[in-house]
Structure 1
């Protein structure tokens, strides 16, 4: 990639620092600012008033709406200007007033957004966060540092994710949730503070999971998270072992079990008070 491709369209009011690398077919609208260590790949569109700073790489086909900032310094008092990174995956769409900060030297050193994500207006992605592919972040979502969100997860409007929280693959976080602990893959959480109410049945159904597999997933979930009144009767570790023995050959169950057993800073979101009775409300 040349420093600035001749095929790029750059509005005369925008500032592109020496050293920035601008790809083929990039469109940079009015009043944008591009720092000297930035790489913007082919076909990116910065509509207007976009700031890209630091060691930031913007993947091919990304679209940034007005007043977004990418790769600015993290809001971390320990940060001392180290050359940490921010990476935005291809074809991701970033709407108005989104802020995505670069990583920290005391963290992973990189904030990473996957491919084909949609980050809606006024959301904040903090330092050292990692978002998988196909993630949707709805308006006004905020997250602390070091949050990890799995592929195709959905975070609804005005949710707040505590630092170091893990959100599993295809999980659903409801609107205005305060999420203080990890959400299992395919899990669905609601409320403030967030409580697990079942699996993300609608996503599973829309993505081709057949009825027999859905029923096995439901039985495995009920075995792992029984009704609240029964929860204290059997230790969670015993239920985990029983589910692994009976349902561990199911790929999605195995994925949930692996997530539960992985290292965690925050533990797991607890089941809602309604227990298994509440999971029928998820549309299956």
Structure 2
């Protein structure tokens, strides 16, 4: 394997076969696929840290190492197996280091367990951090930053949907990032595990999850209203649009089946529906 290629196991962690990200990447032209895979793999490695680190200090040390490594990557160096393909993507597509650092900042916030106070605050954080990978992908696909606003709107909706999907697991460990205001209004304690072992908090938690799903759903059609007017750019952004459409379909499924499905496990779409939604770019 060439040193500039992404290790298959690293890519598989970020975009497992049959995942929404896997379907979206398959829609990218061959010459753009590897830089998109490098962005996806880097994002996946960073986002794994808060979830797979039991000690916050260990997670912070890992993120500190990655910040140093990213500085080397931006200079064309680096030691990690992802360094060469990511450095090549940065150089070829003039990817801003600030966007890659935003992915690290998101993981830092997750380690801190700092819940936003309100949904608008959570949305602003999603626009700043969670949308960064889609902004980078859009720059690769269209060749400049002209689709930044569109990618930010789609990426923040995607990020909030991804977070909501994980709430069943997060609620058991007290690291949910649901807004404090939403929790208070639903009668859920804002500190500690949201899902108590005796199940007494379950009805309140379901109300909070339903409120969150209702708040996220309108973000997708609003984001589509920011699509570029140039049809060629819209066509070039097909992988990004497909990825967002898959998450829009997921939020619709959550609304249809109810938030209890989030508690039971990671709600997902069938493979056939994923193929159909990704191909159409519409939920």
TM-score interval, normalised by the smaller of the two chains: under 0.3
More helix as a share of residues = 2
Higher relative contact order (CA 8 A, sep 6+): 2
Q: In terms of Rg, which structure is larger?
A: 1
TM-score normalized by the length of structure 1: 0.24
TM-score normalized by the length of structure 2: 0.24
